[in-house]
Amino acid sequence: MKQIKTVGVVGAGTMGSALAQKFAQEGFKVILADQAINFVEKGLTSIHKTLEDGVEKKVFTKTQADEYLSNLKGTDSLADLKDCDLVAEAIFENLQAKKDLFRLLGEIVSNDCIVATNTSSFSVTELAASIVHPERVIGLHFFYHAAKNRLVEIIPGKKTSSETLKTARLFSVLAGKDAIDCTDTYGFTVNRFFVPWLNESVKLLQEGVATKSEIDFVCMKVFGIGMGPFALMNATGVPIAYHSEKTLEVFGKLYEVAEALKSQAESGRPWEIELQVEAIDPAKEKIISDRMQGVVFFVCSQILEEKVSSATHLNRGAKIGLRWKNGPVDLMKNAGEEKVNRLVAMIAGLYNMKVPSTIGGKYWQIESVKLEKNNSVAILTMDQPENMNALSEKTVQELSEKFNEADSDPGIETIFITGSGKAFVAGADIKFFVKNIKAGKINDIETFTAFGQDVFNRIDQSKKKVVAINNGLTLGGGLELALCADMILALPKAQFAFPETGIGIYPGLGGTQRSVRKIGKGLSKYLIHTGKMLSAKESEEIGLVDKIISAEEVIEMIEGRQNIPVVAEKALPEKWQKVKDLFEKNSLVEILENRYSNRSMAAEEAEKIVKTIGYKAPVAIRLADKLIEEERGSDSELAYLSEIFSTSDALLGLTSIGKKVQYEGK
């Protein structure tokens, strides 16, 4: 597979400069190109300002910002892109301009350089016809603001090679993006339903149904979003909405551009939005709600019928790319088949269009764990990046089913477990715990945990070789899942922690037991009692991670082109030996009461650890310490679940994630 090291970005406008910044932040060498040097300088200035703001807000350090900038250079000559491994075009949405650019790039870059288009609407296949070797052309549609928004739509054209697609997928991961797959059709997935949603709001306005502020008010309420369609169009540009909708008119009458949208775009002015409304007539609200939901339901049903995208990726596109609280599939499930059928039929009648056949529960299945098989290898991917792959009831059930399928397959010898997006698994579904505590249903938490333990035990006891590949955040239940594997491999940016005692509970899926098996009692107590977040390097030093590997090595292992590494036992570094000794040579009470004996560790270092433990929930610390000391197996964690989830500290901690709290020990 081609390695991507140097990336060219053509177009130094808002999107192009944001892409260049993001790629540079992720460690790629980036060349930002445009037709005039003043455009390039403007783009670089924008990047500088964004990075300065990031330093000011402590998103990253000045040293990091300087490092990102060192990966960037600008040019007004396309010839400077000749040595790039991948070039992404991000110029304005003009088909002929993009074709001309592709033709020029084909004469400059190497024959195996991947050429990606960031088009939001044009055919990738049609653009690819403008360049020699169209098999290396692919659509990578990024979303605003590209340095912050994690979504990318991956769109292969008809001639895109499997090698190009595979490399583009890996590049998206390395670029810190969450990808959804789309077929090569106008609007792809997200814009296909989002832009008609914007357009429909304008139709409601021109029909005199409601004011702009009333439509925004209802949409914010119904879709659980922070900005309504008119405010959104003002933020991203009214002409963009107009031109995007214009390309979709091929799909029928529903997609015809509203005259008022055309006029507003041509005026070059944003919408003038009235004062925000506080309440609205219920009859008017119903009309707006039905029409706006109806359009989304209709178009998304078309997307599913045409197999433009899966239900899982359709939902993900809205939640990550548009930051909708609920994706379209969630909304259809919540509404129910009867209502969805009614609203879709209403839209079909209004615009004289055929009702899609893909309405109903069987078309709305969202997969949270993905199973792939490659000869003797099975790959289980925790696949809900929009939820940080949190362990919900549904996810654990799917993990159970998919693991059983892989484990019972006689042709499978190795099972890899990994995650998509920025997390391996970022813990359990906190909302589930809070809901059941408030409802007085602690027994439901016990049932869920017991089932989770059963699933994890099966993974732990499998006769297959189980390898955890930790791609990102591995927290709480995620670390407990990784500890079930025979080997833990980590990408360089992976992070590990047991944050439970900081939110009022203790690890309940075997964390207090399997961590001891992996790194011993002392270091297990350190991790669980302090909640300390460890880098991949630190985790490797203490033996929690067996080896740090690259994303390329992961692909080669999965494809059978590289063996799983053999890891030799290493001595524990001195700094970690001191930490281990502190917890193994002193009881928890002695540590908390500052009566500990640890001659080898500097006093201020020990005091810092003790102070950190002092911020955690006392009952959770006490029970976790007891479980680690007794070492009676994972089942022992079930014994104290009722006690810990009945504490006021647990409810306080679970409802105050990210906030400083004062625990009372009860």
Q: Are 294 and 302 in contact (CB under 8 A)?
A: no
Using DSSP, state whether 583 is helix, strand or coil. Answer: helix
Active site residue 540: no
For the chain, how far is it from start to end, CA to CA, in angstroms? 56
**Which residues does residue 391 pair with via DSSP β-bridges, in sequence order?**
428
Q: Are 8 and 33 in contact (CB under 8 A)?
A: yes
Residue 625: closest CA among 581, 649, 591, 595: 591
Residue 107, Cβ neighbours under 10 Å: how many?
11
**Which residues does residue 387 pair with via DSSP β-bridges, in sequence order?**
none
Q: Which of 89, 153, 245, 480 is catalytic?
A: 480
Phi, psi of 490 (to 5 degrees): -135, 140
d(CA 306, CA 16): 31
Strand stretches in 79-136, DSSP E? 86-89, 114-117
Q: Are 548 and 539 in contact (CB under 8 A)?
A: no
Active site residue 500: yes
Tell me the Ramachandran region of residue 566: left when phi exceeds 0, alpha when psi lies from -120 to 50, beta otherwise: beta
Using DSSP, state whether 518 is helix, strand or coil. Answer: helix
Q: Residue-wise over 304-315: b if at least 16 C-beta within 10 A, else e?
A: beeebbbbbbbb
d(CA 396, CA 590): 39
d(CA 265, CA 63): 42
Residue 251, Cβ neighbours under 10 Å: how many?
18
Q: Are 347 and 295 in contact (CB under 8 A)?
A: yes
| Residue at 637: amino acid letter | E
Q: Which of 26, 214, 398, 500 is catalytic?
A: 500
**Both tokens of residue 650?**
């647990």
Q: Outline where 275-336 has alpha helix (H).
A: 282-305, 311-316, 328-335
Which letter does DSSP use for residue 321 in this model? I
Query: Distance from CA of residue 398 to its chain's centroid?
Result: 19
d(CA 251, CA 121): 13
What DSSP assignment string belongs to 623-652? HHHHHHHH---GGGGGGGHHHHHTSHHHHH
620, containing H or E segment: helix 618-630
Q: Are 368 and 316 in contact (CB under 8 A)?
A: no
Phi, psi of 22 (to 5 degrees): -60, -45
- The secondary structure of 386-430, three-state, reads HHCCCECHHHHHHHHHHHHHHHCCCCCCEEEEEECCCEEEECECH
Q: Are 444 and 393 in contact (CB under 8 A)?
A: no
152, containing H or E segment: strand 151-156
Residues catalogued as catalytic: 480, 500
